[in-house]
Protein backbone atom coordinates (compact mmCIF):
# COMPACT_ATOMS: atom_id res chain seq x y z
CA UNK A 1 0.00 0.00 0.00
CA UNK A 2 2.93 2.30 0.65
CA UNK A 3 3.92 2.20 -3.03
CA UNK A 4 0.69 3.65 -4.36
CA UNK A 5 0.95 6.55 -1.93
CA UNK A 6 4.56 7.16 -2.91
CA UNK A 7 3.54 7.12 -6.51
CA UNK A 8 0.44 9.32 -6.35
CA UNK A 9 0.92 11.68 -3.45
CA UNK A 10 3.15 14.76 -3.31
CA UNK A 11 5.22 14.57 -0.16
CA UNK A 12 8.06 16.79 0.94
CA UNK A 13 10.96 15.88 3.19
CA UNK A 14 12.77 17.94 5.76
CA UNK A 15 15.94 19.21 4.10
CA UNK A 16 18.13 17.53 6.69
CA UNK A 17 16.76 14.14 5.56
CA UNK A 18 17.98 14.83 2.04
CA UNK A 19 21.41 16.35 2.61
CA UNK A 20 24.75 14.65 1.99
CA UNK A 21 27.76 15.16 4.26
CA UNK A 22 29.48 17.20 1.56
CA UNK A 23 26.42 19.42 1.10
CA UNK A 24 26.40 20.09 4.80
CA UNK A 25 30.01 21.23 4.69
CA UNK A 26 29.28 23.39 1.64
CA UNK A 27 26.21 24.85 3.36
CA UNK A 28 28.18 25.88 6.46
CA UNK A 29 30.86 27.40 4.26
CA UNK A 30 28.27 29.33 2.25
CA UNK A 31 26.48 30.57 5.37
CA UNK A 32 29.70 31.85 6.94
CA UNK A 33 30.18 34.02 3.88
CA UNK A 34 26.59 35.21 4.03
CA UNK A 35 26.77 36.07 7.73
CA UNK A 36 29.89 38.18 7.15
CA UNK A 37 28.15 39.97 4.26
CA UNK A 38 25.03 40.68 6.32
CA UNK A 39 27.07 41.99 9.24
CA UNK A 40 28.81 44.49 6.99
CA UNK A 41 26.00 45.53 4.61
CA UNK A 42 23.47 47.35 6.80
CA UNK A 43 22.03 49.69 4.16
CA UNK A 44 21.48 49.48 0.41
CA UNK A 45 24.49 51.77 -0.13
CA UNK A 46 26.73 49.53 1.97
CA UNK A 47 25.42 46.41 0.22
CA UNK A 48 26.14 47.91 -3.21
CA UNK A 49 29.61 49.06 -2.16
CA UNK A 50 30.49 45.64 -0.79
CA UNK A 51 29.01 43.86 -3.83
CA UNK A 52 31.10 46.03 -6.19
CA UNK A 53 34.26 45.14 -4.25
CA UNK A 54 33.39 41.44 -4.40
CA UNK A 55 32.58 41.66 -8.13
CA UNK A 56 35.78 43.52 -9.00
CA UNK A 57 37.74 40.84 -7.14
CA UNK A 58 36.17 38.34 -9.56
CA UNK A 59 37.08 40.35 -12.65
CA UNK A 60 33.91 42.42 -13.19
CA UNK A 61 34.44 45.89 -14.67
CA UNK A 62 32.15 48.90 -14.80
CA UNK A 63 30.18 48.85 -18.06
CA UNK A 64 30.47 51.93 -20.21
CA UNK A 65 27.97 52.42 -23.03
CA UNK A 66 29.53 51.34 -26.33
CA UNK A 67 31.93 48.82 -24.79
CA UNK A 68 32.43 45.77 -27.00
CA UNK A 69 31.50 42.55 -25.26
CA UNK A 70 32.23 38.88 -25.86
CA UNK A 71 31.07 35.66 -24.19
CA UNK A 72 32.38 35.38 -20.67
CA UNK A 73 32.85 39.14 -20.16
CA UNK A 74 31.78 40.37 -16.72
CA UNK A 75 30.36 43.85 -16.30
CA UNK A 76 28.37 45.89 -13.81
CA UNK A 77 26.44 49.14 -13.62
CA UNK A 78 26.36 50.97 -10.32
CA UNK A 79 23.14 53.02 -10.18
CA UNK A 80 23.98 56.01 -7.96
CA UNK A 81 25.53 53.81 -5.28
CA UNK A 82 22.11 52.47 -4.28
CA UNK A 83 21.37 49.69 -6.72
CA UNK A 84 23.57 47.47 -8.81
CA UNK A 85 23.20 45.43 -11.99
CA UNK A 86 25.77 42.82 -12.97
CA UNK A 87 25.98 40.72 -16.12
CA UNK A 88 28.06 37.82 -17.41
CA UNK A 89 27.79 37.74 -21.19
CA UNK A 90 26.56 34.42 -22.57
CA UNK A 91 27.59 32.41 -25.61
CA UNK A 92 24.18 32.95 -27.22
CA UNK A 93 22.98 36.26 -28.63
CA UNK A 94 21.01 38.54 -26.30
CA UNK A 95 18.19 38.02 -28.81
CA UNK A 96 17.73 34.58 -27.19
CA UNK A 97 17.06 36.31 -23.88
CA UNK A 98 18.81 36.47 -20.54
CA UNK A 99 18.49 34.79 -17.16
CA UNK A 100 17.82 37.46 -14.55
CA UNK A 101 17.84 37.17 -10.79
CA UNK A 102 16.56 40.26 -8.98
CA UNK A 103 16.67 40.86 -5.24
CA UNK A 104 16.52 44.04 -3.18
CA UNK A 105 19.11 45.36 -0.75
CA UNK A 106 17.00 47.93 1.12
CA UNK A 107 15.41 46.79 4.39
CA UNK A 108 12.92 48.30 6.84
CA UNK A 109 14.61 50.80 9.14
CA UNK A 110 14.29 54.16 10.92
CA UNK A 111 15.29 57.10 8.69
CA UNK A 112 16.11 60.51 10.15
CA UNK A 113 13.92 63.42 9.06
CA UNK A 114 15.57 66.29 7.19
CA UNK A 115 15.38 68.53 10.27
CA UNK A 116 16.10 65.81 12.80
CA UNK A 117 17.99 67.41 15.68
CA UNK A 118 16.19 68.83 18.72
CA UNK A 119 16.44 69.16 22.46
CA UNK A 120 13.69 68.35 24.92
CA UNK A 121 14.06 68.70 28.70
CA UNK A 122 17.86 68.75 28.48
CA UNK A 123 18.07 65.61 26.35
CA UNK A 124 18.98 65.59 22.65
CA UNK A 125 17.04 63.59 20.07
CA UNK A 126 16.70 62.83 16.37
CA UNK A 127 13.22 62.94 14.80
CA UNK A 128 12.59 60.02 12.43
CA UNK A 129 10.31 58.77 9.69
CA UNK A 130 10.36 54.98 9.47
CA UNK A 131 11.08 53.28 6.14
CA UNK A 132 9.11 50.23 5.01
CA UNK A 133 6.51 48.20 6.85
CA UNK A 134 7.43 47.87 10.51
CA UNK A 135 5.70 46.94 13.75
CA UNK A 136 6.79 50.08 15.59
CA UNK A 137 6.77 48.55 19.06
CA UNK A 138 9.63 46.23 17.99
CA UNK A 139 12.02 49.15 17.39
CA UNK A 140 12.10 50.65 20.88
CA UNK A 141 14.57 49.60 23.61
CA UNK A 142 16.98 47.94 21.18
CA UNK A 143 20.51 49.16 20.39
CA UNK A 144 20.66 51.17 17.16
CA UNK A 145 23.48 52.21 14.85
CA UNK A 146 23.56 55.24 12.58
CA UNK A 147 24.49 54.78 8.92
CA UNK A 148 24.30 56.92 5.82
CA UNK A 149 25.69 59.91 4.02
CA UNK A 150 25.76 63.67 4.33
CA UNK A 151 26.01 65.42 0.96
CA UNK A 152 27.61 68.84 1.31
CA UNK A 153 27.02 71.94 -0.82
CA UNK A 154 30.60 71.73 -2.08
CA UNK A 155 29.83 68.40 -3.79
CA UNK A 156 31.58 66.28 -1.21
CA UNK A 157 29.71 63.31 0.30
CA UNK A 158 30.59 62.19 3.80
CA UNK A 159 30.02 58.57 4.88
CA UNK A 160 28.60 58.24 8.36
CA UNK A 161 28.78 55.09 10.47
CA UNK A 162 28.34 55.33 14.22
CA UNK A 163 27.88 52.29 16.39
CA UNK A 164 29.30 49.49 14.24
CA UNK A 165 32.80 49.80 15.70
CA UNK A 166 32.83 48.25 19.22
CA UNK A 167 34.51 51.45 20.45
CA UNK A 168 31.58 53.58 19.19
CA UNK A 169 28.52 54.60 21.21
CA UNK A 170 25.09 53.39 20.08
CA UNK A 171 21.57 54.82 20.22
CA UNK A 172 18.13 53.86 21.47
CA UNK A 173 14.45 54.77 21.33
CA UNK A 174 13.07 54.56 24.86
CA UNK A 175 9.76 53.06 25.99
CA UNK A 176 7.53 53.59 29.01
CA UNK A 177 8.20 51.59 32.16
CA UNK A 178 5.44 49.03 32.95
CA UNK A 179 4.86 50.75 36.30
CA UNK A 180 3.45 53.76 34.42
CA UNK A 181 2.25 51.87 31.35
CA UNK A 182 -1.35 51.33 32.47
CA UNK A 183 -2.93 53.52 29.77
CA UNK A 184 -0.41 52.58 27.09
CA UNK A 185 -1.03 48.87 27.63
CA UNK A 186 -4.74 49.33 26.90
CA UNK A 187 -3.93 50.64 23.42
CA UNK A 188 -3.66 48.40 20.38
CA UNK A 189 -0.15 47.30 19.42
CA UNK A 190 -0.44 49.60 16.42
CA UNK A 191 -1.15 52.62 18.61
CA UNK A 192 1.07 51.83 21.63
CA UNK A 193 4.14 53.26 19.90
CA UNK A 194 3.46 55.91 17.25
CA UNK A 195 5.51 56.99 14.23
CA UNK A 196 6.10 60.45 15.70
CA UNK A 197 7.09 58.74 18.96
CA UNK A 198 10.11 57.04 17.37
CA UNK A 199 12.57 59.67 18.58
CA UNK A 200 16.17 58.54 18.99
CA UNK A 201 18.01 59.51 22.17
CA UNK A 202 21.45 60.87 21.25
CA UNK A 203 22.87 62.83 24.19
CA UNK A 204 22.48 64.42 27.60
CA UNK A 205 25.50 66.58 28.48
CA UNK A 206 24.89 70.36 28.19
CA UNK A 207 27.38 72.60 26.40
CA UNK A 208 29.35 74.67 28.91
CA UNK A 209 27.80 78.10 28.30
CA UNK A 210 24.77 80.15 29.31
CA UNK A 211 22.60 79.94 26.16
CA UNK A 212 19.62 77.82 25.14
CA UNK A 213 19.58 74.29 23.68
CA UNK A 214 22.85 73.45 25.38
CA UNK A 215 22.58 69.65 24.95
CA UNK A 216 21.65 70.03 21.29
CA UNK A 217 24.66 72.32 20.86
CA UNK A 218 26.93 69.80 22.58
CA UNK A 219 25.92 66.87 20.31
CA UNK A 220 26.12 69.11 17.23
CA UNK A 221 29.63 70.05 18.23
CA UNK A 222 30.57 66.35 18.57
CA UNK A 223 29.21 65.71 15.05
CA UNK A 224 31.10 68.78 13.83
CA UNK A 225 34.35 67.44 15.35
CA UNK A 226 33.83 63.99 13.86
CA UNK A 227 32.40 64.86 10.43
CA UNK A 228 32.87 68.60 9.96
CA UNK A 229 29.12 69.09 9.48
CA UNK A 230 26.71 71.78 10.73
CA UNK A 231 22.97 71.46 11.42
CA UNK A 232 21.99 72.74 7.96
CA UNK A 233 23.83 69.80 6.38
CA UNK A 234 21.13 67.41 7.66
CA UNK A 235 18.90 68.89 4.95
CA UNK A 236 20.88 67.01 2.31
CA UNK A 237 21.66 63.91 4.35
CA UNK A 238 20.38 60.34 4.21
CA UNK A 239 20.91 59.04 7.70
CA UNK A 240 19.25 55.96 9.04
CA UNK A 241 19.13 54.04 12.29
CA UNK A 242 19.37 50.27 11.97
CA UNK A 243 19.47 47.54 14.63
CA UNK A 244 22.95 47.08 16.09
CA UNK A 245 22.63 43.33 16.64
CA UNK A 246 25.45 41.08 15.46
CA UNK A 247 24.45 38.39 13.00
CA UNK A 248 24.48 35.16 15.01
CA UNK A 249 23.83 31.45 14.70
CA UNK A 250 20.57 30.60 16.44
CA UNK A 251 19.57 27.35 18.14
CA UNK A 252 21.56 24.76 20.06
CA UNK A 253 22.14 22.98 16.75
CA UNK A 254 23.21 26.26 15.07
CA UNK A 255 20.82 25.55 12.19
CA UNK A 256 19.35 29.05 11.98
CA UNK A 257 20.72 32.54 11.44
CA UNK A 258 19.44 35.59 13.31
CA UNK A 259 20.15 39.06 12.01
CA UNK A 260 18.87 42.37 10.73
CA UNK A 261 18.04 42.67 7.02
CA UNK A 262 17.65 39.06 5.82
CA UNK A 263 14.79 40.61 3.78
CA UNK A 264 16.18 40.73 1.22
CA UNK A 265 19.95 40.62 1.55
CA UNK A 266 19.69 36.85 2.04
CA UNK A 267 18.50 36.52 -1.58
CA UNK A 268 20.74 39.37 -2.78
CA UNK A 269 23.77 37.50 -1.45
CA UNK A 270 22.55 34.21 -3.00
CA UNK A 271 22.30 35.68 -6.50
CA UNK A 272 25.45 37.75 -6.14
CA UNK A 273 27.43 34.70 -5.01
CA UNK A 274 25.88 32.67 -7.85
CA UNK A 275 26.86 35.15 -10.57
CA UNK A 276 30.35 35.57 -9.08
CA UNK A 277 30.73 31.78 -9.03
CA UNK A 278 30.06 31.33 -12.77
CA UNK A 279 33.37 29.81 -13.77
CA UNK A 280 32.84 29.81 -17.53
CA UNK A 281 30.71 31.67 -20.04
CA UNK A 282 27.05 30.68 -19.56
CA UNK A 283 24.82 29.78 -22.50
CA UNK A 284 22.58 32.80 -22.02
CA UNK A 285 23.67 36.12 -20.56
CA UNK A 286 23.16 36.12 -16.79
CA UNK A 287 22.01 39.26 -15.02
CA UNK A 288 22.00 39.94 -11.29
CA UNK A 289 20.05 42.90 -9.89
CA UNK A 290 20.46 44.34 -6.42
CA UNK A 291 17.52 46.77 -6.28
CA UNK A 292 16.67 49.58 -3.91
CA UNK A 293 13.28 50.93 -2.71
CA UNK A 294 11.44 47.60 -2.79
CA UNK A 295 10.21 48.16 0.75
CA UNK A 296 8.53 51.42 -0.27
CA UNK A 297 7.01 50.19 -3.54
CA UNK A 298 9.95 50.07 -5.99
CA UNK A 299 9.37 53.68 -7.07
CA UNK A 300 12.19 56.13 -7.62
CA UNK A 301 15.35 56.25 -9.65
CA UNK A 302 16.98 53.30 -7.88
CA UNK A 303 13.81 51.18 -7.58
CA UNK A 304 12.81 48.41 -9.99
CA UNK A 305 10.24 50.64 -11.69
CA UNK A 306 13.07 52.91 -12.83
CA UNK A 307 14.18 52.70 -16.44
CA UNK A 308 17.77 52.46 -15.19
CA UNK A 309 17.29 48.74 -15.79
CA UNK A 310 16.13 49.22 -19.41
CA UNK A 311 19.03 51.60 -20.02
CA UNK A 312 21.59 49.03 -18.89
CA UNK A 313 19.94 46.18 -20.80
CA UNK A 314 19.45 48.28 -23.91
CA UNK A 315 23.11 49.26 -23.93
CA UNK A 316 24.07 45.57 -23.70
CA UNK A 317 21.63 44.77 -26.52
CA UNK A 318 22.93 47.65 -28.66
CA UNK A 319 26.42 46.14 -28.46
CA UNK A 320 25.00 43.09 -30.30
CA UNK A 321 22.54 45.03 -32.50
CA UNK A 322 19.62 43.27 -30.82
CA UNK A 323 16.30 45.03 -30.10
CA UNK A 324 15.68 45.22 -26.34
CA UNK A 325 12.08 44.08 -26.76
CA UNK A 326 13.18 40.78 -28.27
CA UNK A 327 15.70 40.24 -25.47
CA UNK A 328 13.03 40.87 -22.81
CA UNK A 329 10.44 38.66 -24.52
CA UNK A 330 12.85 35.71 -24.37
CA UNK A 331 14.20 36.36 -20.89
CA UNK A 332 13.42 34.60 -17.64
CA UNK A 333 13.52 36.25 -14.22
CA UNK A 334 13.75 34.83 -10.74
CA UNK A 335 12.42 37.57 -8.49
CA UNK A 336 14.55 36.51 -5.55
CA UNK A 337 12.75 37.73 -2.46
CA UNK A 338 12.02 36.26 0.93
CA UNK A 339 8.71 34.65 1.84
CA UNK A 340 7.01 34.09 5.18
CA UNK A 341 7.94 30.91 7.03
CA UNK A 342 5.21 29.06 8.94
CA UNK A 343 5.54 30.02 12.61
CA UNK A 344 4.09 27.48 15.10
CA UNK A 345 3.58 30.37 17.52
CA UNK A 346 1.07 31.92 15.10
CA UNK A 347 -0.63 29.05 13.26
CA UNK A 348 -3.88 31.01 12.99
CA UNK A 349 -2.60 33.24 10.14
CA UNK A 350 -1.28 30.35 8.08
CA UNK A 351 -2.66 27.73 5.80
CA UNK A 352 -0.25 24.91 6.48
CA UNK A 353 -0.69 23.05 3.22
CA UNK A 354 0.61 26.02 1.26
CA UNK A 355 2.89 27.99 3.57
CA UNK A 356 6.67 27.66 3.44
CA UNK A 357 8.44 25.85 6.26
CA UNK A 358 11.94 26.35 7.60
CA UNK A 359 14.36 23.68 6.33
CA UNK A 360 12.21 22.73 3.35
CA UNK A 361 14.29 24.66 0.85
CA UNK A 362 13.87 27.57 -1.52
CA UNK A 363 10.32 28.96 -1.43
CA UNK A 364 8.62 29.48 -4.78
CA UNK A 365 5.66 31.87 -4.85
CA UNK A 366 3.57 31.46 -8.00
CA UNK A 367 1.70 34.58 -6.91
CA UNK A 368 1.85 37.15 -4.13
CA UNK A 369 -0.59 40.02 -3.63
CA UNK A 370 -3.59 40.27 -1.30
CA UNK A 371 -7.39 40.03 -1.42
CA UNK A 372 -8.01 37.85 -4.45
CA UNK A 373 -4.39 37.94 -5.68
CA UNK A 374 -4.64 41.69 -6.25
CA UNK A 375 -1.37 43.29 -7.33
CA UNK A 376 0.45 40.10 -8.25
CA UNK A 377 2.17 38.98 -11.42
CA UNK A 378 1.05 35.32 -10.98
CA UNK A 379 3.60 33.28 -12.92
CA UNK A 380 2.20 30.85 -15.48
CA UNK A 381 1.88 27.10 -14.92
CA UNK A 382 4.45 26.65 -17.70
CA UNK A 383 7.00 28.76 -15.81
CA UNK A 384 6.45 26.71 -12.64
CA UNK A 385 6.83 23.49 -14.65
CA UNK A 386 10.12 24.80 -16.03
CA UNK A 387 11.43 25.38 -12.51
CA UNK A 388 10.23 21.95 -11.33
CA UNK A 389 12.26 20.32 -14.07
CA UNK A 390 15.31 22.55 -13.57
CA UNK A 391 15.42 22.07 -9.80
CA UNK A 392 14.81 18.30 -10.04
CA UNK A 393 17.73 17.99 -12.45
CA UNK A 394 20.02 20.20 -10.34
CA UNK A 395 19.20 18.74 -6.91
CA UNK A 396 17.70 21.98 -5.58
CA UNK A 397 15.32 21.38 -2.68
CA UNK A 398 12.38 23.75 -2.94
CA UNK A 399 8.81 24.20 -1.78
CA UNK A 400 5.73 26.00 -3.01
CA UNK A 401 4.88 28.94 -0.80
CA UNK A 402 2.01 31.34 -0.20
CA UNK A 403 2.00 34.29 2.20
CA UNK A 404 -0.49 33.18 4.88
CA UNK A 405 -4.20 32.53 4.76
CA UNK A 406 -6.44 33.97 2.07
CA UNK A 407 -7.54 37.50 3.07
CA UNK A 408 -5.18 37.50 6.07
CA UNK A 409 -2.89 40.08 4.48
CA UNK A 410 -0.32 39.87 1.75
CA UNK A 411 2.71 41.44 0.21
CA UNK A 412 4.49 42.27 -2.99
CA UNK A 413 7.93 42.04 -4.54
CA UNK A 414 9.66 43.33 -7.66
CA UNK A 415 8.16 40.41 -9.65
CA UNK A 416 5.32 42.39 -11.18
CA UNK A 417 7.62 45.16 -12.39
CA UNK A 418 9.75 42.58 -14.20
CA UNK A 419 6.73 40.71 -15.59
CA UNK A 420 5.19 43.99 -16.80
CA UNK A 421 8.28 44.38 -19.00
CA UNK A 422 7.25 41.22 -20.87
CA UNK A 423 9.70 39.02 -18.97
CA UNK A 424 8.52 35.64 -17.62
CA UNK A 425 9.01 36.08 -13.88
CA UNK A 426 8.48 34.04 -10.74
CA UNK A 427 9.13 34.77 -7.06
CA UNK A 428 11.64 32.55 -5.33
CA UNK A 429 13.47 33.00 -2.07
CA UNK A 430 14.23 32.16 1.51
CA UNK A 431 11.43 31.65 4.09
CA UNK A 432 11.85 34.07 7.02
CA UNK A 433 10.48 34.17 10.57
CA UNK A 434 9.82 37.55 12.22
CA UNK A 435 10.09 39.24 8.82
CA UNK A 436 10.59 43.04 8.95
CA UNK A 437 11.56 42.86 12.63
CA UNK A 438 14.94 44.11 13.88
CA UNK A 439 16.15 40.50 14.22
CA UNK A 440 14.83 38.16 11.53
CA UNK A 441 15.42 34.41 11.45
CA UNK A 442 16.21 32.16 8.49
CA UNK A 443 17.36 28.54 8.17
CA UNK A 444 20.85 27.86 6.83
CA UNK A 445 19.51 25.06 4.66
CA UNK A 446 17.06 27.36 2.86
CA UNK A 447 19.76 30.01 2.34
CA UNK A 448 22.03 27.45 0.71
CA UNK A 449 19.24 26.02 -1.46
CA UNK A 450 18.33 29.50 -2.69
CA UNK A 451 21.94 29.96 -3.80
CA UNK A 452 21.87 26.58 -5.57
CA UNK A 453 18.52 27.50 -7.13
CA UNK A 454 19.81 30.75 -8.64
CA UNK A 455 23.02 29.04 -9.76
CA UNK A 456 20.97 26.33 -11.51
CA UNK A 457 18.91 28.99 -13.32
CA UNK A 458 22.09 30.78 -14.44
CA UNK A 459 23.69 27.56 -15.66
CA UNK A 460 20.57 26.24 -17.45
CA UNK A 461 20.15 25.82 -21.25
Q: Tell me the window of 10-18, 261-269, 306-314, 437-445 that interacts with Mn ion (CB under 5 A).
A: 261-269
Q: Which range of residues in 74-82, 208-216, 262-270, 395-403 is near Mn ion by CB under 5 A?
A: 262-270
Q: Is 355 in the site for Mn ion (CB under 5 A)?
A: no
Name which of 73 and 106 has its Cβ closer to Mn ion: 106
100 Cβ contact list (under 8 Å, min separation 6)? 286, 287, 288, 289, 331, 332, 333, 334, 418, 423
CA distance readout (Å), 291 to 83, 84, 422 = 5, 7, 19
Given the complex with Mn ion, which of 73 and 355 has the nearer CB atom? 355
- Report, in Å, the least distance between residue 104 CB and Mn ion: 6
Burial class, 190, CB count within 10 angstroms (exposed 0-12 / middle 13-18 / buried 19+)? exposed
Instruction: Work out how close the CB of 442 gets to Mn ion at its nearest, in angstroms, rounded to a whole number.
Output: 12
Residues 303-342, one symbol each (x = binds Mn ion by CB under 5 A, - = not), give ----------------------------------x-----
**What is the nearest approach in angstroms of Mn ion to the Cβ of residue 47?**
13
Which lies closer to Mn ion via its Cβ, residue 193 or residue 432?
432
Q: Which is nearer to Mn ion, 75 or 433 (CB)?
A: 433
Asked if 263 interacts with Mn ion (CB under 5 A), we say: yes
Cβ 432 to Mn ion shortest distance, Å: 9
Please, where are the H alpha helices in 301-443?
308-318, 324-329, 381-394, 415-419
How far apart are alpha carbons 359 and 342 in whole angstroms? 11
Nearest to Mn ion of 263, 314 (CB atom): 263
CB nearer to Mn ion: give 145 or 337: 337
Give phi and psi for 419, each to the nearest 5.
Answer: -60, -35
Axis crossing angle, helix 444-459 with helix 381-394, rounded to the nearest 10:
100
- What's the CA gap between 366 and 217, in Å, rounded? 54
Residue 61 φ/ψ, nearest 5 degrees:
-125, 155
Mark the segment that binds Mn ion (CB under 5 A) among 177-185, 232-240, 258-266, 354-362: 258-266
State the nearest-atom distance from the C-beta of 37 to Mn ion, in Å. 16
Smaller CB separation from Mn ion, 144 or 291? 291
Shortest CA distance to 264 belongs to which of 436, 53, 90, 426? 436
Give the residue with the Cβ less far from Mn ion, 264 or 292. 264
Beta carbon of residue 412, minimum distance to Mn ion (angstroms, whole number): 9
Least Å distance between CB 294 and Mn ion? 6
The residue (of 273 and 293) whose beta carbon lies closer to Mn ion is 293
Choice from 264, 315, 343, 402 touching Mn ion (CB under 5 A): 264
Smallest distance from Mn ion to CB 107, Å: 7
Using CA atoms, how far apart are residues 369 and 373, in angstroms rounded to an integer?
5
Q: C-beta of 132: minimal distance to Mn ion in Å?
A: 6
Number of residues that bind Mn ion (CB under 5 A): 3
Rounded Cα gap, residues 332 and 399, in angstroms: 20
Calculate Rg over the CA atoms of the chain.
23
Q: Which residue is nearest to Mn ion (CB)?
A: 264
Closest C-alpha among 9, 57, 17, 30 to residue 449: 30
Q: Nearest distance from residue 48's CB to Mn ion, in Å?
A: 16
- In angstroms, give the least distance from the CB of 437 to Mn ion: 11
Site membership for Mn ion, residue 440 (CB under 5 A): no
Spatial separation of the C-alpha atoms in residues 125 and 268, rounded to whole Å: 34
The answer, yes or no, to whether the previous bond of 206 is cis (omega within 30 of 0) is no
Q: Give the C-alpha separation, 71 to 92, whole Å.
A: 8
Q: Is 426 in a helix, a strand, or coil?
A: strand
Q: Is 359 helix (H, G, I), strand (E, B) or coil?
A: coil
Torsion, CA 225, CA 226, CA 228, CA 230, rounded to 10: -80
Stretch that binds Mn ion, among 18-26, 255-263, 399-407, 417-425 (CB under 5 A): 255-263
Nearer to Mn ion (CB atom), residue 74 or residue 262: 262
Q: Please say which residue, 264 or 315, places its beta carbon nearer to Mn ion.
A: 264
Distance CA 17, CA 360 (A): 10
The binding site for Mn ion (CB under 5 A) comprises 263-264, 337
Amino acid sequence: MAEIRDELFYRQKNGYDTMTTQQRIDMEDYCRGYMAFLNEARTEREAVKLAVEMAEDKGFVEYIDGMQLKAGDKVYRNNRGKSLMLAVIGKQSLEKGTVIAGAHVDSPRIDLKQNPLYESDELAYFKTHYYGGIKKYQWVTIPLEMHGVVALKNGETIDVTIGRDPADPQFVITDLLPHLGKDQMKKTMEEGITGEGLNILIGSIPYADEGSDRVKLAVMSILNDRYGIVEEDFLSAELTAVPAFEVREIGLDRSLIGGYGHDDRVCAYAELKAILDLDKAPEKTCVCILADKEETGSDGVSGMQSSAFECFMEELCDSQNVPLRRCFANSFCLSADVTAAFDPNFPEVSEKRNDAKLNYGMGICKFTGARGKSGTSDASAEVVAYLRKLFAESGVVWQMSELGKVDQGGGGTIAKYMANRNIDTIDAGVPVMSMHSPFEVVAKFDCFMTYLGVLAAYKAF
